[in-house]
């Protein structure tokens, strides 16, 4: 596998059953209230796309990473029977967030999950990307994004994170994560350590991404400029009110004005 392709590693270190048990009830509640089609920007390996389709929703996921999109396609193919039985629909496209404005404005909800917004680029680039997603929503459509609580993270400046481990049918996988703080951004280093089973040699595949610290005030300002309002803030998917000095995540839900 080329060192630049991380897509096959992510699912090895994500406990999707546990994650969906935590996140899916809120997403189903919001999508059910909104009705209509569901959009999943930056869908990654498609866990949420397939899970929502199995709940009977018509879901379109998109991502700018070809490897992620291909894995999502494979998951959709495997789940076709369950999706059809639930009368849902699942689709994925290779698309960047800023190009989401090419989609028809027919989606009633959009869920942007897993802290993707801080890695998009500058504030201006993020605004363009969010406007693209908002343009794909119907008037009154719901937008939800899950991000890290950067107000707390910036205060604590945690640099090292718990080691994650998992496996694919052929390999053992370890994920090491380190954050390096600068004046107005964070360099987030991710290193996957992989070895072939049963006891191959360990190989390292590293990648660094730059993240904007999206504090609650800043994120709200940018999303307001993108055309959203009527905001609700939670600290987790159980809808616990957001506490700036305590919550691990910042979950923002708003409506297209």
Q: What percent of the chain lies above the pLDDT cut of 70?
A: 98
Domain assignment present for 117: yes
Whether residue 98 has pLDDT greater than 90:
no
> The domain containing residue 69 runs over which residues?
7-149+213-256
pLDDT at 134 over 60: yes
The reply to whether 66 and 174 lie within a common domain is no
**In the predicted structure, residue 4 carries a pLDDT above the cut 50:** no
Q: Output the pLDDT for position 5.
A: 66
Task: Judge if 69 and 117 occupy the same domain.
Answer: yes
Residues 144 and 85 placed together within one structural domain of the fold: yes
If we measure between CA atoms, which residue out of 135, 140, 130, 131 comes closest to residue 35? 140
> In this structure, are 224 and 206 located in the same domain?
no
The count of structural domains within the chain is 2
Overall average pLDDT of the 172-188 stretch: 96
Percent of the chain clearing pLDDT 90 (strictly above): 93
74 shares its domain with 169 = no
Joined together, the tokens standing for residue 235 give 């600290």
- Flag whether pLDDT at 1 surpasses 70: no
Q: Which of these three, 174, 191, 211, is where a domain ends? A: 211
Same domain, 81 and 123: yes
> CB within 8 A of 143, min separation 6: which ones?
109, 110, 112, 133, 134, 137, 223, 228, 253, 254, 255, 256
- Express each pLDDT in 6-61 by its tens digit: 888 999 999 999 999 999 999 999 999 999 999 999 999 999 999 999 999 999 99
pTM equals: 0.94
Is 1 within the bounds of a domain?
A: no
Residue 114 sits in the same domain as residue 135: yes
Largest CA distance in the chain: 56
Whether residues 191 and 220 fall in one domain: no
Average pLDDT, rounded, for the chain: 95
On whether both 15 and 130 belong to a single domain, the answer is: yes
- The per-residue pLDDT for range 197-254, each reduced to its tens digit, is 998 999 999 999 999 999 999 999 999 999 999 999 999 999 999 999 999 999 999 9
**98, 174: one domain:** no
Spatial distance between the Cα atoms of 57 and 87, rounded to a whole number of angstroms = 8
| Residues 59 and 141 reside in one and the same domain | yes
């Amino acid at each position: 596998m080329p060192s630049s392709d991380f897509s096959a590693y992510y699912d090895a270190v994500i406990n999707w059953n546990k994650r969906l048990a935590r996140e899916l009830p809120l997403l189903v509640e919001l999508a059910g209230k909104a009705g209509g089609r569901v959009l999943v920007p930056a869908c990654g390996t498609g866990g949420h796309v397939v899970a929502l389709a199995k709940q009977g929703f018509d879901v379109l996921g998109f991502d700018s990473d070809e490897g992620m999109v291909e894995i999502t396609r494979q998951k959709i193919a495997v789940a076709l029977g369950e999706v059809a039985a639930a009368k849902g629909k699942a689709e994925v496209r290779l698309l960047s967030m800023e190009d989401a404005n090419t989609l028809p404005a027919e989606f009633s909800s959009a869920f942007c999950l897993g802290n993707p917004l801080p890695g998009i680029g500058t504030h201006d680039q993020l605004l363009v990307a969010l406007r693209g997603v908002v343009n794909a929503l119907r008037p009154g459509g719901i937008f939800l994004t899950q991000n890290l609580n950067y107000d707390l993270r910036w205060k604590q400046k945690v640099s090292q994170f718990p080691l994650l481990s998992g496996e694919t049918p052929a390999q053992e996988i370890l994920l090491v994560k380190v954050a390096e703080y600068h004046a107005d951004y964070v360099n987030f280093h991710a290193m996957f350590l992989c070895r072939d089973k049963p006891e191959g040699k360990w190989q390292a595949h590293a990648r660094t991404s730059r993240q904007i610290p999206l504090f609650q005030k800043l994120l709200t300002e940018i999303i307001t400029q993108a055309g959203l309002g009527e905001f609700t803030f939670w600290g987790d998917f159980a809808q616990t009110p957001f506490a700036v000095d305590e919550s691990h995540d910042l979950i923002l839900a708003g409506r297209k004005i």
